[in-house]
Structure formats: structure tokens, C-alpha cells
Amino acid sequence: MIHDESQPGSAPSVPTQPARRRPWGALLSLIAGVIILYLVFRKIDLREFADALSQTRWEWIGAALLCGLLSHWFRGLRWALLAEPLGHRPSALKAFYAVMSGYLANLALPRLGEITRCLLLARKTPLGLSALFGTVVLERLLDLAVLLVLALGVLLGYQDMLLDPVLNFVTTKVGSGVSLGFLVAFLLGMATVVVLWRTLGRLVPVPAQIRQTLADIGKGVTGLRHVPSPWLVGVYTALIWLGYYLMTYFCFFAFPGAESLGAPDAMLLLVAGAFGFVMPVQGGMGAYHAAIVWTLGMIPGLAMSPSTALAFATLSHLAQTVLVVVVGGLSYFLMSLYRDHLVEATLPVNPHANPSGSNLS
């Protein structure tokens, strides 16, 4: 809802023309994605590619998308739970709508979704923007920990295909002495950054507003220890990644030539696809395709041509993108139907006011 805040008798405000911003970041990201797609598609037999797509079993694609949608729902539940120590637990629907709207924004510019979903939820709830951003950082740390654990399991499970070549490269091409030097330099660099931060933080005055913003972000990041049911965060995290895994596994049954792939292969492709999605391109475009095609080509005994592997990657990526566009667009519309939270709730609190009068509903 839009409220007119002009007072009777006051001169009408003259609207100013906002400065036009050139979306260089989005443009460069799009160009990078297009270049990667070109490199992936340039040697592909397009007729074989189209034939592979025409044999898709769409009922399994639907099952995979349902698993993906449930995974996003559990992500919304987890985010709402992590926000509870901030003084208010948003409804599951609001958190879900904000999450899906964020995924939609990521298609325009990588990492824009994190800011978008925080802005939406802060506008519809009494939660502060900075603190919500801190909970998103915490979410990313939890998912990164899970991804690293899964990646380690994949490296050990596919030792001959992945781990041994990496170790051989490090020991023969790079050398253990150089690797140790890089590790020592990295640790010394991190220690220097910490020392400088603590020293300059005492010597250089930092504006109170910046200090408060950083404190709010820190409150969101460290909120896990104040969650009423920390075990439930673990359950939601496991269900999120289970949904991702099943979404990958069900795609095997949807695509001809992939039926021979098993449960361990689904974990391998899940990890490869996850690293493709974190690349700074819109929705993992190009990077996801390259990661899946390369991984499928590395699996021993898999009789799948590069054209068929690319068709598999294209279909799975396209299905996820359509899900984000449809559900994300609908979520953004439904989120707009909620009334904005009162402006007064976002203003600084008077320290002499009665705290019982605060509204956190």
C-alpha cells in the first residue's frame, strides 16, 4: 500500500529524475554465460541433441520439479526459524514467497536474490534488513558446510576418477613445497587481515550507523545458538539437500541413456551442478551445463555421447529455470498482497520508552 505523507498546506514536492544506472554487472554476467554456452555447444551434433530431448519422459521431470519445490519450501521454513531469535518469526508462506522471489532475482543478476528476499521480508515484517541479511549469511554457511561434506564424500567415492588425478597434479605439476607455501601465505594473510581489522577498529572512528548495521548483521549470523530448536535447523537442512538429490536422481529416469546411472552418480552430479550454480552467471547458465557434461563424460562405462549429455544438462537446467520463473513470479505477486509493516516499527527505538509497548506481531 502507498501512503501519502504530505501535510496540509505544505508545498508539493517536486519529483526528481533518478539517475539512470547501467546494469554493467548483469550485462557482463550474461555475456560470460553466453560465452560458456557457446563453448559447450560449438561441437555438438544438434540433430542428436534434438532427438535426445524428444524422448524425454515428462512425468519424471514433474516428479523432479516437485522435489525441488519441496526443497525450496523447507528452505523457507529454515529461514523463518533462523529469524526467530531476532524477535519475530515470520510465517512460512512469507518466508517461502521471499525465497522464491530471490531465486527469480538471481536470474537477472547473480547474488541479487539474497538482497531481494531480505528486502521483501523486512518490508512485510518488523524484522530489520541488516539482521535478516545476517541470517542469509548463516544459511549460506550451513549450505557451504553441507556441500563441502558431500564433495569430500564424492572425492572419496570416486577416488580413481577425481581424487587421484588431483593429488597427482598437486604432487607432480605444482609440487608439495609450492602447495605448502601457498597454504602458509594464505594463513598469514588471513591473520594479517584480522590483526589490521582489530587495530584499525580501535584507532579509526567508525560511524555509529555503520557499527549498528554490522552489529545487526552479526546478530543474524550468530542467531543459531539462540534458535529454540536447533535440531530442527538440521532437519530442514537435510530435507533441503534431500530434495536437491532426488531432483537430480529422478531426472535419470526421465532421460534416455541415463537409466544406467545410479544413486552414487546422482550425488556426483548434484555436487558438480551445485558448483556450477555458484558461478557468477545468471542462474548458472553455461557453467551448470559445462559442469554436468564434463562430469558425465568422466563416469566410466557410461555410453552417453557429448550431445546426449548436453541435452540432459539442458533439460534439467531448463526445468529448474521454468520452476523458478513460474513459482518465483507468482510468489512475488502474492507477497505484494500482504500489507507493509508499519513504518514506525522500523524506526530507532526510544531507550526511555516502555518495552512492553513494542509490536512484534
Q: What is the mean pLDDT of residues 109-132?
A: 88
What confidence tens digit (pLDDT) does each residue in 212-268 have?
566 656 666 667 778 888 899 999 999 999 999 999 999 888 887 777 888 999 999
Q: Are 335 and 278 in contact (CB under 8 A)?
A: no
Helix, strand, or coil (residue 204)? coil
Predicted confidence band at 53 (pLDDT cuts at 50, 70, 90)? low
- What pLDDT was estimated at residue 226? 80
Q: Are 125 and 360 in contact (CB under 8 A)?
A: no
Report whether pLDDT(270) > 50. Answer: yes
Residue pointed to by grid coordinates 541488516: 130
Report whether pLDDT(328) > 80. Answer: yes
Predicted confidence band at 200 (pLDDT cuts at 50, 70, 90)? low
- What pLDDT was estimated at residue 350? 42
Encode 266-301: b = buried (16+ Cβ within 10 Å), e = exposed. bbbbbbbbbbbbbbebbbbbbbbbbbbbebbeebee
Grid cell listed for 325: 520463473
Closest CA to 265 of 290, 304, 299: 299
- What pLDDT was estimated at residue 334? 93
Listed by start position, the domains of the chain span 45-337
Q: Is the pTM of this model over 0.95?
A: no
Question: For residues 125 and 334, what is the distance between their CA atoms, to the nearest angstrom?
Answer: 15
Question: For residues 29 and 109, what is the distance between their CA atoms, to the nearest angstrom?
Answer: 7
Closest CA to 223 of 136, 325, 346, 329: 136
Q: Which residues contact 218 (CB under 8 A, 6 or more apart)?
A: 134
For 23: left if phi > 0, alpha if psi spans -120 to 50, otherwise beta; the answer is: beta
Question: For residues 252 and 270, what is the distance between their CA atoms, to the nearest angstrom?
Answer: 12
- What pLDDT was estimated at residue 143? 93
Name which residue leads in pLDDT, 185 or 343.
185
Predicted confidence band at 196 (pLDDT cuts at 50, 70, 90)? low
DSSP string, 42-69: TT--HHHHHHHHHT--HHHHHHHHHHHH
Closest CA to 94 of 354, 281, 340: 340
Grid cell listed for 145: 558446510
Q: Are 69 and 323 in contact (CB under 8 A)?
A: yes
CA-CA-CA-CA torsion sign (325, 65, 284, 335): positive
Question: For residues 100 and 277, what is the distance between their CA atoms, to the nearest angstrom?
Answer: 16
- What pLDDT was estimated at residue 309? 82
Q: How far is CA 355 from CA 87, 110, 215, 349, in A?
A: 12, 40, 20, 9
CA 59 vs. chain centroid, Å, equals 27
CA 53 vs. chain centroid, Å, equals 28
Question: For residues 315 and 99, what is the distance between their CA atoms, to the nearest angstrom?
Answer: 23
- What pLDDT was estimated at residue 202? 59
